[in-house]
Structure 1
């Protein structure tokens, strides 16, 4: 669970909890505590920004439901941000590499069975930020092969490639990619998503008028939940991933 209260570039309060359960019980109370500690009221908020996934199925549902409810109840604009983009953005900030170079940032969230939720972004020497691969769930072994192929065949080559997020279970494949690419220096940024990274990206979308409808926003699951997949399989249905 990651939450942040920001005013401009200043973090007024932040909560990053690794507790695996009871987020539905504590999340709203945690948000209220952030406001109380900063001596702010809901009326002072400019917007509600929420990470919409991909990631934990239940966690995404909780976060998006809270974001939608607060935006509607407090009559505030709602902005949704890719959780993977937030992870990548934080990885770019945390990397020990040279920020004055062209860099690819590859966010990784473990999705079990050798899979990862992932995407790809590029940060240039001027600090400009751009997505180059959509969010999706992919086999890590296949993903590093695709990245190596894209690196070899691309017209523009980054000086650094940053893998950010859940790295421990996928270090073998990252090392294999490092041996294959022979072009860019590989940097590792192992950490968990922070609320302030989602807030910063959401602020930029807010300023561009990229708002979400509180009644229509749904999480980006990228695949069916395990329970849904089992139900369809039992009925003889065909399960298709949404990538």
Structure 2
């Protein structure tokens, strides 16, 4: 099994996780506006807890968005620096997909609509279906990731489960879509543990990038990311 360090700072939650020897260690905290101060000490602590160093990792993963612009820049910058310093591959994971996977792990409902508050009267939303087979877990996307007004989401004929803070949006409540959900988990945030598990699947399928391409996904065209030389070297 690969050893993968994962982190997420896309929402007010700040989390790190380490997938190692088939298990996942995680440190998850609700810490608005503290991500920049917390993330490196949290990473160091979880590596120390497992008794390994960065050089022993197989890859680093992060919640690449959508989410808070500032939060996504923090995680992408940290991951770029660490990956450059240790010459490690990177696995960007959708925060919406991680949310859906969290719900699937908890309930085993197969159809999920994760949503996050995008501000400006909009939400980030996507749709994922999970199925188990002898070859492992299959995840398909039935609604592509998007940022939109809640009234533009449309209806869904099948039962679906809903997860994420976007479902607290006033316009979603008023649209009636929320009432269509067979299950609602609106108090969940993306977790590094789920990102680590999804990263294991991607790693085994060869879906990795180099540090230069560890960039956020904002879903808003007017926001751009400039790749910077690494500022975090070996510690």
TM-score of the aligned structures, taking structure 1 as reference length: 0.76
Q: Partners in 2 of 1:48 and 1:94 — Cα distance?
A: 25
Any gaps of 5 or more consecutive residues in structure 2? 1-13, 225-235
Q: How does 1:51-200 map to 2 (within 5 A)?
A: 51-95=63-107, 99=108, 103-124=110-131, 126=133, 127-143=137-153, 146-148=154-156, 151=157, 158=158, 160-166=159-165, 167-170=167-170, 173=173, 176-177=176-177, 186-190=182-186, 191-200=188-197
Indicate the structure (1 or 2) with the bigger Cα radius of gyration. 1
Q: Quote the RMSD (CA, aligned, Å).
A: 2.3
Q: What SS does structure 2 have at the residue aligned with 1:147?
A: coil
Runs of 4+, deviation exceeding 6 Å? none
**Larger strand fraction of residues:** 2
Q: What SS does structure 1 have at the residue aligned with 2:212?
A: coil
- After superposition, the C-alpha distances for 1:108-132 in whole angstroms (9 at most, x for unaligned) are 1111243111111112365532111
Any gaps of 5 or more consecutive residues in structure 1? 152-157, 229-243
**Larger helix fraction of residues:** 1
Matched positions, count: 206
1:206 aligns with 2:200: no
Q: Which residue of 1 aligns with 2:45?
A: 33
| Mapped contact 1:107–1:118 kept (Cα < 8 A) | yes
- After superposition, the C-alpha distances for 1:49-92 in whole angstroms (9 at most, x for unaligned) are 11110100000011011111111111211111111111111112
